[in-house]
Structure 1
Amino acid sequence: QAAAITFSNDMQTTARGGANSSAVRALTMLFSQLPEDVLYQILSYLDYRSLSRLSQVCKTIYHFVNRDAVWKKIAKDFLNTGITRNGTDIYHHIPLKERVKIAQNWCDGVCNRAVPLKWKTKLLPWVQLDRDMLFLSQAAVIGGYSLCQDSGRLHRNPFEIYSGHKGDVCRFVLTDAHLISGGSDGKILVHHRRRGVMLELSGHNQEVNCLDSKDGLIISGSRDRTARIWTLTSSCPRDTIAMQDRVWSVAISPTLSSFVTGTACCENFSPLSIWDVERSECVCILGSQFRRGAGVLDMVFESPFQLFTCGYDTFIRLWDLRLSPRKCAMEWEEPHDSALYCIQTDGNHMIASGSSYYGVVRLWDKRQTRCLQFFQLSSQPASSPVYCLRFSSSHLYAALATALHSLDFSQNPIYIR
């Protein structure tokens, strides 16, 4: 280990111009003759700044140091690099070194702000991202917009419009083949993303506040105090579950064996319940200390046993579903006592949340209890909540009542070249 550190320090000295040309050639020759596993071990002792300086020594070292294998260990410790906790690489088409550059900007809050879309009427928009496409609901329609691959900028004219609801779209989800939307008219519409075929699912008699879909399974929740289980092969619900409160949020487990409902918490019981998909029976209740009105507005499974929730009680909570009884493993509190309307995680260390006042977006590092960065997107007296947010490796998009905001984190910090 000591020899590896000494060699690394010599190479860094060379990179900073602390050695003559003959020393550079000698060190480069030594570097190229070492087995790759030894080189990886040497480089594992360097941080991202040192690796960046080292890559400037010569072309041979540059090409080796820029390999994803060199940066993978570092990338796991940064926010939003696309390396999830289980080792999956979400953004495998982007070199890891480039992602670490951008991740440093996420940590430091360095970004360019823009408002790609505005509209006059106040709405409750929802957003989904799919690679280089962004889908945005506005009143009764959903528009599909192309994103420029290099800049992440939004093309102002949608390439596709999905319509059919007689009221506003409340929620929608994307699958590989379908766009599934729930509206204030109580309808669920299934649009085929390529053929434009539409299936109407009827059952709710009030607005569909939430839905989720995986592998042909659809779960919906409504103000009519029911949750319904559907399949893509029938226009009628497979099962209807009578709830004791309005359902604000649902999420299907990655295993497809269960789903979670979050209610408005207007009654004297926990708003969070886990249900068995096959039996349509309640498996368990999560938590018991929720105050009245602490409804759950958004939730996301990060793994089969990790569930994140947020809502009116201003907390983000991580539930460990492996424990018995299942209980909250960690929580993060919104510092200004604002309801949290939406959350998204990167599958590793980062959480992004949208607050109810002044369009505040916060970035959280799960390894800390305090907020890492925050961005106020609205300064108007009648401020809007962040109704929905989604992010890619370089951009965050937040939907407010009258505009879609974007934060671009892709500009290069000066110490990573």
Structure 2
Amino acid sequence: MLLLPRLPEDVLLLILAHLDRRSLGRLAQVSRGMSRLVGRDAVWRNVAKQFLNSGITRTGADIYPHIPLKERVRTAQNWHDGVCRKEVLLKWKTKLLPWLQLDGDTLFVSQAADIRAHRIRRESGRLQQRPSRIYSGHRGDVCRFVSTPSHLISGGSDGRILVHSRRAGGSAELPGHSQEVHCLDCREDLIVSGSRDRTVRIWSLSSSSPRETLPMSDRVWSVAISPAQSSFVTGTACCEDRAPLRIWDTERLECVCSLGSGFRRGAGVLDIVFESPSQILSCGYDTFIRLWDVRLSTRKCVMEWEEPHDSALYCIQTDGNHMIASGSSYYGVVRLWDRRQAACLQFFQLGPGPVSSPVYCLRFSSSQLFAALASSLLRLDFRPGASDCR
């Protein structure tokens, strides 16, 4: 140990990068100089890759670069152990189907026909009760919306699709569907919408006319555009056919394949998330989370996790590495999954009483998870010091 500090700093950092979390913690107590070295992000990167929601994805990207890795690993231990504080952030009297988007320090929440932008205070992590901005214009409830740096695109129960400007204000209407717009996704200039009217429409953000309307054999519950924008995936109700998941070519606007087979009637897909250009996660009424390899040479389910209480799964989110969060249809249950394990890692019942709302939408940051229920918005705070849930 006496010779260790005499090594060149780059060699010492390389050695420290191979130590585990406990060893690094003990080494930081040796001296101020060693504590300074142990605090470097380069030392914690290998450790962080093994933790849930540390911000290091499977591809090596860092999605929380402004937060020191050492601090994130401490918080990630709480995600793994289920140590958190539960708090009700917002309540409303009428039961709704709210949706969320988290963009930096702003949480967008749909309530009936409006989308409200709430600032998150950096120090406390609390939500400002008064919205900084309200986006309106629908004649019915907002069913889904997505955010981009410049716009909010929303679809409503009135069949309308609105493009709200986040910079200049105001909104423009796109020719919508004849029934509820159940799902939307947007990447750069490409928009894909799906509806109860059994159609999918493909739009350009810079144009007010749809590029194409694709007839579907069933109601469309979910859509997701690939990161490369070369394809998109649709999830249907699985009532009129037995292929609820399909991949479509963005340029040719043709179905290139169906994923899986043997789905029972009604096993509709309610949420789809691209984890990488070659992998998607799906969930729905059949109570399974499934990981699909969508590469041309594979295109099959490679892993699956079953909801232990046989509940439909309304929504999923992923940290891009080991963690998956899911929202159940009963009792306001949120589950955390480690994809390296078959069983659920942690679960939290957010709703009060024996009969409660589904979890309609989940969003999380490095330290907080936001869950939208029928009549409330809740937060689980995993920062060190939070301990209500354990």
Which TM-score bucket, shorter chain as reference? over 0.9
Q: Contact 1:101–1:412 at 8 Å: present in 2 too?
A: no
Asked whether the equivalents of residues 116 and 405 of structure 1 are also in contact (C-alpha less than 8 Å), the reply is yes
Q: Deviations over 1:187-213 (max 9, x none)?
A: 110011111131101131001000000
Mapping for residues 300-311 of structure 1, pairs under 5 Å: 300-311=273-284
**Partner Cα separation in structure 1 for residue 14 and residue 209 of structure 2:** 59
Q: 1:248 aligns with which of 221, 239, 258?
A: 221
- 1:93-123 CA-partner distances (Å, limit 9, x unpaired): 0000000000000000000110010011000
Query: What TM-score results when the alignment is normalised by the length of structure 2?
Result: 0.97
Which residue matches 2:35? 62
Aligned pair partner of 1:324 in 293, 297, 308: 297
**Conservation of the 8 A alpha-carbon contact between 1:145 and 1:160:** yes
Alpha-carbon distance in structure 2 between the residues aligned to 1:35 and 1:320:
44
Could you tell me which residue of structure 1 aligns to residue 263 of structure 2?
290
For residue 198 of structure 2, the aligned residue among 222, 225, 235 is: 225
- Which of 269, 272, 288 aligns to 1:299? It is 272
Residue in structure 2 matching 1:119, options 89, 92, 99: 92
Counterpart CA distance in 2 for 1:404 and 1:127 is 10
- Provide the secondary structure at the position in 2 that maps to 1:144: strand
Runs of 4+ in 1 over 3 A off after TM superposition: none
C-alpha distance in structure 2 between counterparts of 1:65 and 1:123, whole Å: 48
Do structure 1's residue 32 and structure 2's residue 5 form an aligned pair?
Answer: yes
Partner of 1:95: 68
Q: Is the 8 A contact 2:201 2:211 kept in 1?
A: yes
Deviations 1:329-350 (A, max 9, x none): 0000000000000000001000
What is the TM-score when the length of structure 1 is the normalising length? 0.91
Match of 1:410 in 2: 383
CA RMSD of aligned residues (A): 1.3
The match for 2:248 is 275
Per-residue CA shift, 1:2-60, capped at 9, x if unaligned?
xxxxx4xxxxxxxxxxxxxxxxxxx2xx3332023431343234221221121122211
The aligned residue for residue 374 of structure 1 is 347
Q: Is the 2:274–2:280 Cα contact (8 Å) retained in structure 1?
A: yes
Q: How does 1:2-401 map to 2 (within 5 A)?
A: 7=1, 27=2, 30-322=3-295, 324-401=297-374
Note if contact 2:239-2:266 (Cα within 8 Å) is conserved in structure 1. Answer: yes
Identity of counterpart residues, as a percentage?
A: 71
Paired with 1:382 and 1:76, the residues of 2 have a C-alpha distance of 38
Deviations, residues 375-416 of structure 1 (Å, cap 9, x unaligned): 0001324310000010000000000000001000002599xx
Q: Which structure has greater helix proportion?
A: 1
Q: What CA deviation, in whole Å up to 9, does each residue of 1:216-242 have, x standing for no partner? A: 100000000000000112222110000
Residue 150 of structure 1: how far off its partner (Å): 2.0
Q: Hey, what's the Cα distance between the residues in 1 that align with 2:39 and 2:14?
A: 15
Moved more, 163-172 or 270-279: 270-279
Secondary structure of 2:240's aligned partner: coil
Which amino acid in structure 1 is aligned with residue 13 of structure 2? Y
Distance 2:385 2:46 in 1: 21
Aligned position for 1:19: none
Return the alpha-carbon distance in structure 2 between the equivalents of residues 237 and 44 of structure 1. Answer: 52
Asked whether the equivalents of residues 144 and 161 of structure 1 are also in contact (C-alpha less than 8 Å), the reply is yes
Amino acid at match of 1:354: G
Deviation, structure 1 residue 83? 0.4
Instruction: Tell me: CA distance 1:386–1:308, structure 2 relative to 1, closer, same or farther (3 Å).
Output: same
Instruction: State the alpha-carbon separation in 2 of the partners of residues 257 and 69 from structure 1.
Output: 35
Check whether the contact 2:18–2:46 (CA below 8 A) recurs between aligned residues: no
Q: In the alignment, residue 38 of structure 1 is paired with which amino acid?
A: V
| Alpha-carbon separation, structure 1, partners of 2:111 and 2:18 | 50
Describe the SS at the equivalent of 1:371.
Answer: coil
In structure 2, how many angstroms separate the alpha carbons of the residues matched to 1:237 and 1:354? 32
Aligned to 1:22: none
Does the Cα contact within 8 Å between 2:157 and 2:181 map onto a contact in 1? yes
**Paired positions, count:** 387
Contact 1:204–1:222 under 8 Å retained in 2:
yes
Q: CA 1:98/1:412 → structure 2, altered by over 3 Å: closer, same or farther?
A: farther
Q: Which runs of 5+ in 1 are unaligned?
A: 1-6, 8-26
Distance change >3 Å, CA 45–CA 256, structure 1 → 2: closer
